[in-house]
Amino acid sequence: TDKFTESVYVLANEPSVALYRLQEHVRRSLPELAQHKADMQRWEEQSQGAIYTVEYACSAVKNLVDSSVYFRSVEGLLKQAISIRDHMNAATQGH
């Protein structure tokens, strides 16, 4: 009966001991896990900001490349204006 009583006692208390150990583990590791979660959230926010910045910069570069046609047009008009100015100066000096 002593062995039977001891076995019943162990079996009855085993879940309590397991739950106590589990609670002890959670209490010890939870602050560190919470800190890791906060760090990951902060890194995610920083990454999202960096991704937005890179996408915005890529868009700006693409717009510059697309506007090269307009820059070439302005360059041609400036060359034409300089040529007209030179002709006008030559005509003025010739008179």
43-69 pLDDT, tens digit per residue, is 999 999 999 999 999 999 988 888 888
pTM: 0.47
Q: Note the pLDDT tens digit of each residue in 8-25.
A: 777 777 777 777 888 898
- What distance in Å separates the CA atoms of residue 61 and residue 6, rounded to the nearest whole number? 79
| Beta-carbon-side half-sphere exposure of residue 50 (alpha carbons within 13 Å) | 6
